[in-house]
Structure 1
Amino acid sequence: MTVKAERAHAAPVPKATSPFPVTATVSRTLAERIEDLLPQTQCTKCGYPACRPYAEAIAAGEANYNQCPPGGAQGIARLAALLDKPVIPLDTTHGEERARPLAVIDENVCIGCTLCMQACPVDAIAGAAKQMHTVIAELCTGCDLCVPPCPVDCIAMVPVTGPRTGWDAWSQEEADAARARHDRRMTRLERERAAAEARANARQASRSQAESKAQEKPEAPAAQDDPEAKKRAIIQAALERARKKKEEMASLGAGPKNTEHVSTDVQAQIDAAEARRRRLGLTDGENASHPGDGERSANVNAKNQRHE
Structure 2
Amino acid sequence: MPVLANAIDALLPQTQCGQCGYAACLPYAQALAAGECGPNRCPPGGDETLVALAGLLGQPIVPLDTRCGETATPRQAHIDSDTCIGCTKCIPACPVDAIVGASKRLHAVLTDECNGCGLCLAPCPVDCISLLPLAAETDPQRTARPAINRRRHQARQRRLAAHAVTEKPVPTPTRQSPEVQTALARARALLATRRA
Q: TM-score, normalised by structure 1?
A: 0.52
Is the contact made by 1:99 and 1:161 (CA closer than 8 Å) also made in structure 2?
A: no
Match for residue 52 of structure 1 among 18, 22, 26: 26
Match for residue 175 of structure 1 among 132, 146, 153: 146
1:183 shift after superposition: 0.2
Match for residue 65 of structure 1 among 11, 16, 39: 39
1:158 shift after superposition: 1.2
Q: What's the counterpart of residue 184 of structure 2?
A: none
Task: Indicate the structure whose relative CO is greater, using CA pairs within 8 Å and at least 6 residues apart.
Answer: 2
Give the alignment's Cα RMSD to 1 decimal. 2.2
Q: C-alpha distance in 1, partners of 2:13/2:134?
A: 17
1:171 shift after superposition: 2.4
Uncovered stretches (5+) of structure 1, i.e. residues with no partner? 1-26, 201-308
Q: What's the counterpart of residue 158 of structure 1?
A: 132
Is the contact made by 1:38 and 1:75 (CA closer than 8 Å) also made in structure 2?
A: yes
Q: What's the counterpart of residue 185 of structure 2?
A: none
Secondary structure of 2:43 counterpart: coil
Q: What's the counterpart of residue 98 of structure 1?
A: 72
Change (3 A) 1:120 1:199: closer
1:77 shift after superposition: 0.4
Is the contact made by 1:110 and 1:133 (CA closer than 8 Å) also made in structure 2?
A: yes
Q: C-alpha distance in 2, partners of 1:139/1:54?
A: 22
Q: C-alpha distance in 2, partners of 1:199/1:45?
A: 29
Change (3 A) 1:186 1:108: same
CA offsets 1:24-77 (integer angstroms, 9 cap, x no match): xxx961001100000000010000000000000000111110000000111010
Q: What's the counterpart of residue 161 of structure 2?
A: 190
Q: Name the amino acid aligned to 1:106.
A: D
Q: C-alpha distance in 2, partners of 1:87/1:32?
A: 20
Q: What's the counterpart of residue 129 of structure 1?
A: 103
Does residue 86 of structure 1 match 2:60?
yes
CA offsets 1:217-254 (integer angstroms, 9 cap, x no match): xxxxxxxxxxxxxxxxxxxxxxxxxxxxxxxxxxxxxx
Change (3 A) 1:64 1:109: same
Does residue 148 of structure 1 match 2:122?
yes
1:109 shift after superposition: 1.1
Q: What's the counterpart of residue 107 of structure 1?
A: 81
Identity of aligned residues (%): 48
Change (3 A) 1:72 1:103: same
1:172 shift after superposition: 2.9
Q: Name the amino acid aligned to 1:84.
A: G
Q: C-alpha distance in 1, partners of 2:104/2:2?
A: 45
Change (3 A) 1:199 1:153: closer
Q: C-alpha distance in 2, partners of 1:143/1:194?
A: 28
Q: How do 1:199-238 residues align onto structure 2 when only pairs under 5 Å count?
A: none
Q: What's the counterpart of residue 74 of structure 1?
A: 48
Larger Rg belongs to: 1
Is the contact made by 2:2 and 2:30 (CA closer than 8 Å) also made in structure 1?
A: no
Change (3 A) 1:198 1:141: closer
Change (3 A) 1:199 1:109: closer
Q: Name the amino acid aligned to 2:154.
A: D
Secondary structure of 2:92 counterpart: helix
Q: TM-score, normalised by structure 2?
A: 0.81
Uncovered stretches (5+) of structure 2, i.e. residues with no partner? 172-196
Q: C-alpha distance in 1, partners of 2:120/2:62?
A: 30
Match for residue 15 of structure 2 among 13, 24, 41: 41
Secondary structure of 1:103 counterpart: strand
CA offsets 1:243-275 (integer angstroms, 9 cap, x no match): xxxxxxxxxxxxxxxxxxxxxxxxxxxxxxxxx
CA offsets 1:187-219 (integer angstroms, 9 cap, x no match): 10011111224999xxxxxxxxxxxxxxxxxxx
